[in-house]
Amino acid sequence: MAKSAFPPGPDLQAGDTVARCDSHSKVTGLARFAADEYPEGLLFAGVKRALVPHGLLRTLNSARTLQEPGVVAVLTARDISGSNRQGIIHKDQPVLIEDRVRHRGDALALVLAESRESLEKGLDLIEARIDPLPGVFDPEEALKEDAPKIHEKGNLLCHALIEKGSAEKALESCDVVVEDVFAVPFQDHAFLETQNGIAQMGADGGVTLTVSTQAPFRDRFEIAHALGLDVGAIRVVSPYLGGGFGGKDGATVQCFLALAALHSKGRPVKMWWSREESFLAGYKRHAARMRFRLGARKDGTFEALSAIFHFDAGPYAHLSVEVMELGMEHAAGPYRIPHTHLEGYCVYTNNPIGGAMRGFGITQATFGIERMVDLLAARLGIDPLELRLKNAVRRGDLNGAGVALGHSTGIIPCLEVLRSHPLWVSRHEWKAQAGLFTKRGTGIAAVSNAIGYGRGLPDAASAKVELKSDGRFLIYSGVPDMGQGNAAAYVQIAGEILCQTAGTIEIVQPDTALSLPSGSSSASRTVFTFGNAMIKVCESIRKRLLIWACQFLLVDDVATLVLLPGRIRHAPSGREIPLRLLAQFFSPQDRTFVESYVMPVARDAPDTGKEFPLGFPHTIFSYGAHLVRVEVDVLTGKANVLDYVAVTDGGRILNPQGFEQQIHGGVAQGLGYALMEEILLSEGRILNPDFTTYLIPSTMDVPDIHSDAIQTTEKEGPFGMKGVGEIGTLGPLPAVSAAVEDAVGHRLNQSPLTPPRILEVIRT
C-alpha cells in the first residue's frame, strides 16, 4: 500500500482498521440527523397524495382545510413560479400536480400547519376530484399501441442499445445456446430515516434547507429550476443520513420544503414522510423483465450474448434511463464475450417511481447473466466455477460493452479463492448430508461493479480542509455520509498524510455554503473521488505547512522538516513549532485549503453504446465472487442461508473494518432482495407499504458473512482502493437462486425466492 513519506500518526494509518469518527456520536445518540431538527416556531408541512394511479385532476378544494384551526396555508401548483418540474436528468415530474395524475403518490397540494395533528386534519379535508383514466402497470403492456399514454410523447422513455460484433449471427453458429427469462420486482430502500428535512427563509430572502439527501449541491439546481429561484439563494445542509441507498439521490422533500419556506413568513418548516408515505411516494429499485440468450463453444468459451431488458420506470424518468443503461453495460458480467447485443426499453407505467438503488441496474442484470452461466454450465456439464474462470476478463481484455479494461481487474483471483474454499470443495459431501425434510445447495456468482459516473458527467470532487486556530484540522466534506462511512475514510486519509491523530481531525458534513460541489453520494464513488481530492489537499497542506514552518523556524530547507502530530519538527536540531502556534499567524481563510480531483474517463470509448447520453462507458470496476450455502425446508419452502462467502477485488483496502462492513451490508441487503423483499402491486397500489408486510432481513435472517479480499492495486484509486459500496448487493440473488436450484432441482427465475415460490417449484 502506498504510504506517505513520513512516519504515520499512531492511530489513523491507511490500511489499518480505524474506529469510525462517527461511531461514538451515533452509538450515544448525540449525532444529529435531519430528522432530529425541531427548530423553535416550526410549522409542519405535508402533501395531499392523489391515491389514484392515473387520472385528470378536475377540482381541488381547500376551503375546509383553510378553516381548520392550525392550518396556515395550502399551496398548489398555481403557487409555483418556476417550471414546477423536477428530475435529475429528465425534468418530467411535477412538484405539485397541475392536471394529470400519473401515480398514486403524486402530490396535489402542500399544507402548512402548526402541528402534526392539524396538518393531518387539514390534509384529510382537501377535496380533490380526479377523473380516473385507464392505467398501465406493465412495461411491455405499456409499449403496445393501444396502451394508455402516460406522457404526451408516449410511454417509451428510452430505447438503448449496446452492440458489439454480430450477436445474432454468432448465436446461430454457436455449438450451444441457452435462453431464459428473468423477472425482478420493485424493491424499497427501507432506510431507517425516511425522507425529511427542514427549511427556512432568511432575512435576505435566501432559503436554507437541512435535508436527508445524497446530493445537496444538485438539490439547489432542482429547487431553483422547479420554483424559479436563484441557485445562489438556496443553501442545502446535509447532515449524516440514517440510510440512503440511492433513495435520497434526487429531490424528495426538497422542493416541497423550499416552497413551504417561501410561504411560511420566515418560520422554519419541517416535512417528514411517514413510512407509508415513503413507500407510496419514494423511489424504488426498478422492476424489470430480462430475456437472455447466451451462446458458447462446446468447450465452454462464450461466443455471443443477447439480452433484452424491460425496465419499469414508473410514471417519471428520475434516473431510470441511467439505471437501465448501467445494468445493460454490466449485462455481460465480468466475462469475455466477443459478440453482444444488449437492448433496453425503459418504459413509463403508473407504478411507483423507479430510481437509484445500491447496485443501480447491475443488481437486476447480474441475476440474468449469472444464472445464464449456470444454465450453460449445466448444459455443457462443466463445473460452473470453472466455466466462469475460463471466460473471466483479465486486464487488457475488452468487456462485454467493448471497453478495454485498463485498470485493476481481479475477478480471476476472486474466483480462485472460491475454487479452493472449503465450502466449495466440500459442497457435494455437504449436500448429501442434508437432514430430514431439508435439501441443501451451493451457489456462486461472479460480479462486477463500475466505479463512478462514467462518461458524460464530470466525476469531480473538491476537498476542503482547514487548519484551525487550535492546531486541529477540520474537513469540509462535499459528499454526504449516508452511513457507509466515507467520513471516517476522509479522516483516515487526512490522518495518514498529515500524520495526525484521530482526536485532532474533525469533519463536517456537506453544506453548500461551506463545502464545495463534489457530486452525489452514489456510484461507489465517494471515497474514490472525494478521497482522491482529500489526498491532494492533504499533500498540499503538508507542503504548505512545512514551507510556512520554515519561515518561522528560520530553516532554509523544507526537506529537513517533519509534520508530526500537533507540531512540525526540524529534524536536525529538534526544534519544533506547534501547529496551533503556526496557525495563529494566518487568517482562517489562509489556513483553509482546497484541492480538486476529476476521475478519468474512457478516452478510447467504443462506439458500441447507442442512445446513451450519459454514463457510458465506465473504465474502473470492482469485482467479486460470491458463494452461498442454502438449506431449503421442503415443508415450508423457506430457504435458509447458512453460509455466505464474498471475495472482493476492491483494490487496496483503506480500512479493513469499513471494507467488511460495506460488504456485509451489501450482502445483507442483497439477501433481502433475493429472498423476501418485493413491492406487491395491484393496479399501481402497494399492498405491503410497511415493515409488517414488506419484510427485510433481520439479524436472524442474515448468516455470518465471510468477507475475503483480493487486494489488487488500483493505480487511480486513493491508496490503491476502489469503491465497494454497492458490489456486495450483486451476488446474493443469483447465488441464492443457484443454490436453491442446486438444492431442489428447479430453476426459479422470478425473484425474490419466497417460500411460496420455492414450495411451488418443489411441488411441480
What does the binding site for its own copies look like in residue numbers (CB under 8 A)?
231-232, 453-460, 462, 464, 513-514, 516-517, 519, 543-544, 547-548, 550-551, 554-558, 584-587, 589-590, 592-594, 596-598, 601, 603
CB 654 within 8 A of CB 493: yes
Give one DSSP letter per residue of 204-252, joined into a string. Answer: TS-EEEEE--S-HHHHHHHHHHHHT--GGGEEEE----S--TTTTSS-S
Cβ-based nearer residue to its own copies, 543 or 715: 543
Cβ-based nearer residue to its own copies, 74 or 236: 236
Cβ-based nearer residue to its own copies, 110 or 555: 555
Coil, strand or helix: which one is 16?
coil
Residue owning grid cell 468487456 = 399
User: Rounded to the nearest whole angstrom, what is the least distance from the CB of residue 589 to its own copies in the complex?
Assistant: 5
CA distance 197 to 195: 7
CB 267 within 8 A of CB 200: yes
CB 392 within 8 A of CB 446: yes
User: Rounded to the nearest whole angstrom, what is the least distance from the CB of residue 731 to its own copies in the complex?
Assistant: 29
User: Rounded to the nearest whole angstrom, what is the least distance from the CB of residue 248 to its own copies in the complex?
Assistant: 20
Cβ-based nearer residue to its own copies, 172 or 230: 230
User: Rounded to the nearest whole angstrom, what is the least distance from the CB of residue 579 to its own copies in the complex?
Assistant: 15
CA distance 358 to 727: 8
Cβ-based nearer residue to its own copies, 371 or 464: 464
User: Rounded to the nearest whole angstrom, what is the least distance from the CB of residue 214 to its own copies in the complex?
Assistant: 16
Cβ-based nearer residue to its own copies, 29 or 574: 574
Give one DSSP letter per residue of 59-121, joined into a string. Answer: EEE-HHHHHSTTEEEEE-GGG--S--EE-SSS--EESS-SSEE-STT-EEEEEEESSHHHHHH
CA distance 173 to 304: 10
User: Rounded to the nearest whole angstrom, what is the least distance from the CB of residue 323 to its own copies in the complex?
Assistant: 18
φ, ψ for residue 183 (rounded to 5)?
-140, 135
User: Rounded to the nearest whole angstrom, what is the least distance from the CB of residue 587 to its own copies in the complex?
Assistant: 7
User: Rounded to the nearest whole angstrom, what is the least distance from the CB of residue 585 to its own copies in the complex?
Assistant: 7
- The answer to whether the peptide bond before residue 185 is cis (omega within 30 degrees of 0) is no
CA distance 14 to 88: 35
Cβ atoms within 10 Å of 611's Cβ, excluding its own: 14
CA distance 14 to 659: 12
CB 377 within 8 A of CB 383: yes
Cβ-based nearer residue to its own copies, 338 or 613: 613
User: Rounded to the nearest whole angstrom, what is the least distance from the CB of residue 628 to its own copies in the complex?
Assistant: 37
CA distance 378 to 387: 10
Cβ-based nearer residue to its own copies, 301 or 469: 469
**705-709 and 639-649 strand pairing:** parallel
User: Rounded to the nearest whole angstrom, what is the least distance from the CB of residue 230 to its own copies in the complex?
Assistant: 9
User: Rounded to the nearest whole angstrom, what is the least distance from the CB of residue 3 to its own copies in the complex?
Assistant: 24
Cβ-based nearer residue to its own copies, 454 or 752: 454
Cβ-based nearer residue to its own copies, 63 or 547: 547
CA distance 530 to 513: 18
CA distance 754 to 255: 38
Q: Which amino acid is at 485?
A: G
Q: Which amino acid is at 728?
A: G
Virtual CA dihedral for 670, 673, 675, 678, nearest 10 degrees?
170
User: Rounded to the nearest whole angstrom, what is the least distance from the CB of residue 327 to its own copies in the complex?
Assistant: 20
CA distance 410 to 651: 8
Cβ-based nearer residue to its own copies, 517 or 656: 517
DSSP H or E stretch at residue 460: strand 460-467
CA distance 574 to 564: 12
Q: Which three cell numbers stand for residue 739?
A: 443454490
Cβ-based nearer residue to its own copies, 222 or 677: 222
φ, ψ for residue 310 (rounded to 5)?
-120, 110
Cβ-based nearer residue to its own copies, 235 or 664: 235
CA distance 615 to 28: 40
Cβ atoms within 10 Å of 365's Cβ, excluding its own: 29
Cβ-based nearer residue to its own copies, 533 or 735: 533
Q: Is 506 exposed, middle or buried (0-12, 13-18, 19+ CB in 10 A)?
A: middle
Cβ-based nearer residue to its own copies, 263 or 407: 407
